[in-house]
Amino acid sequence: MIHVGPGGTGGIGYEEGLAYCEDAKLRCLEIEFTHGVQMNNATAKTVGKLAETHKVFLSVHAPYFINLVSKEQEKIVASQKRIIDSCERASHFYSPIFKRKIPIVFHAGYYQDMDKSSVYDLIKDRIIEMQDIIAENDWNVLLCPELTGKATQFGDEHELLQLSREIKCGMTIDFAHALARANGDVDYESLIKKLPHSFHAHYSGINYGPKGEKNHIPVDMNAWKELVVLLKKYDKEVTVICESPDPLGDAKKMGKWV
């Protein structure tokens, strides 16, 4: 089963945005804490109840200002706090009617001048630290580091799959980022065959160059339909968040093909 929904509400707010999703038969929506976790717990509870009423499954994108392998310890601490704050808010979105944990999406960090294996080990340890906090608080959330759009960023498919096997975290497969990271030379079928039965994903059109991702653009529906065929071929259960400049409109169009 493939469920499609928007990243954010396109500026119309959660009440209208969640109602739009239900009307458009979109079953998921990603709360975007782009520049910081501005939502308090009381508001999170209200949004969670709205989502339950409209039968829309929520996920969360943690703030972009995250680097779990910064050379400055205070930035690592601040990065973990942003993710943990996102988890705490998301714990109020949880509803047993969906029978799954809330995905917490984040970009884990940058290689900088370190070798990849050292960066992997550092990020693994820091995710485990956050998993311990999540367990202590009994939050129904799942850390899902994202497949990133530039070769300078941690988060290729191999790293995410290895993390998932070793520490039981989730993953967010951004198919647009996969295309950009490979400078257009991506084999989606080979990628999809490696993925677990159930996972969280992002999709949009994307501009890219030799250094990877530049910016997101509207969805090419023909390309999307080809991806849907592959996801169905391998019987994947996936929530796909549309991150195009028109997340509501493009998600609605995408939903017609699943």
**pLDDT one-digit tens code per residue, 175-234:** 999 999 999 999 999 999 999 999 999 999 999 999 999 999 999 999 999 999 999 999
pLDDT band (50, 70, 90) for residue 99? confident
User: Cβ distance 127 to 79 under 8 Å?
Assistant: no
Task: Report the number of distinct structural domains present in the chain.
Answer: 1
Would you state the pLDDT for residue 224?
98
- Judge whether residue 43 has pLDDT over 90: yes
pTM listed for this prediction: 0.97
User: Cβ distance 217 to 243 under 8 Å?
Assistant: no
- Predicted confidence (pLDDT) per residue in 144-169, tens digit: 999 999 999 999 999 999 999 999 99
pLDDT band (50, 70, 90) for residue 104? very high
| Collapsed DSSP state (helix, strand, coil) of residue 90 | helix
pLDDT band (50, 70, 90) for residue 61? very high
CATH of the domain at 19: 3.20.20.150
Paired tokens of 89: 């808010």
Would you state the pLDDT for residue 13?
97
User: Cβ distance 160 to 187 under 8 Å?
Assistant: no
Q: What are phi and psi of 7, to 5 degrees?
A: -90, 105
Mean pLDDT, rounded, for 42-71: 97
Paired tokens of 232: 């169905």
What is the C-alpha to C-alpha distance for residues 188 and 226, in angstroms, rounded to an integer? 10
Range of the domain at 24: 2-255
Contacts of 74 (CB under 8 A, 6+ apart): none
- Judge whether residue 59 has pLDDT over 90: yes
Average pLDDT, the chain: 97
What is the C-alpha to C-alpha distance for residues 9 and 21, in angstroms, rounded to an integer? 9
What is the C-alpha to C-alpha distance for residues 106 and 112, in angstroms, rounded to an integer? 18
Nearest to 121 by CA among 162, 65, 173: 162
What is the C-alpha to C-alpha distance for residues 86 and 112, in angstroms, rounded to an integer? 26
- Judge whether residue 41 has pLDDT over 90: yes
> How far, in Å, are 26, 85, 124, 200 from residue 80 at the CA level?
31, 8, 13, 21
Residue 177 Rama label (left phi>0; alpha psi -120 to 50; beta): alpha
Contacts of 100 (CB under 8 A, 6+ apart): 57
Size of the chain, expressed as the number of residues it contains: 258
